Amino acid sequence: MTFNPQSSDAREHQAMSSLIPWYVNGSIGEAERQRVDAHLLRCADCRETLAQERCVYQAMNAERTVEYMPAASLKRLQARLDGIGAAAAADGAAREKTGRGSMPWQGAMAASVAVMALALSVLAADRWMQFRAQTAPDYHTVTKPTARAPDEVIRAVFSPTVTLVELQAILDEAGVRIVAGPTEAGCYSLAAESRRPVNSSLALLRANAKVRFAESTQPGFAESTQPGTGPGDIP
């Protein structure tokens, strides 16, 4: 159906056509829905548009394959909130300290003490760096070591896009179950669920593309370890 662009029919057509997406998703008001219904009865173009939009709507609502696991990212948010809380508390304490009617000379004295303390700490830090350079390995960890969970034999990190079904299949295949985690870095503690040797479970986990990291935490675990994968590097 074609309309004269200046006519009231054309304006009505344009107005109704622009509402079709919300007619499709069901969020349109009752009065507008009735107007669109009435227009659809006499407008073939809008009926065709409606059918197309329903196709798009259905395709966009088809089930997605990716499922997100929010636990690890929630832990990171909690760590940020902890940081904000600690910074606010320190700021408040500092303000309270400096706000107690101090005399000008006290400020100058405090500043000079602070400068001396800074100089001393720089000196000490320099000495410490020299000492570290002689003794420390050429890598460092960025997270705190966590206590070993009871029954834990392996720690593992999974892909953030792993689905719950996939995760369960991976655990079943390797004969392990989750006993703790995730840590701030998204690391899970796994305990043996079967008599399968830890070596074998590790090999199965590492062979899976959805497992980003897997390492034994058993004391005295004998394996030909690769550089950078010792217990000290467990996230």
Residues at the contact surface with another protein, assessed by CB under 8 A:
18-19, 21-22, 24-28, 47-57, 59-62, 64-68, 70, 73-74, 76-78, 80-81, 84, 160-161
Residue 155: beta bridge partners? Answer: 189, 215
Output 84 or 123, the one with its CB closest to another protein: 84
**Which residue do the tokens 């344009």 mark?**
14
To the nearest whole angstrom, how small is the minimum distance from the Cβ of residue 99 to another protein? 24
To the nearest whole angstrom, how small is the minimum distance from the Cβ of residue 73 to another protein? 4
* Element (DSSP H or E) covering residue 213: strand 211-216
To the nearest whole angstrom, how small is the minimum distance from the Cβ of residue 13 to another protein? 13
Instruction: Give me the sign of the Cα torsion angle 190, 192, 193, 197.
Output: positive
On the 0-12 / 13-18 / 19+ scale of CB atoms within 10 A, 118 is exposed
Output 161 or 200, the one with its CB closest to another protein: 161
Output 23 or 188, the one with its CB closest to another protein: 23
To the nearest whole angstrom, how small is the minimum distance from the Cβ of residue 143 to another protein? 17
Output 20 or 202, the one with its CB closest to another protein: 20
To the nearest whole angstrom, how small is the minimum distance from the Cβ of residue 208 to another protein? 17
Cα(92)–Cα(53) distance, rounded to whole angstroms? 56
Cα(171)–Cα(109) distance, rounded to whole angstroms? 63
Output 28 or 178, the one with its CB closest to another protein: 28
How far is CA 155 from each of CA 147, 149, 174, 222, 227, rounded to the nearest angstrom? Answer: 12, 10, 13, 16, 17
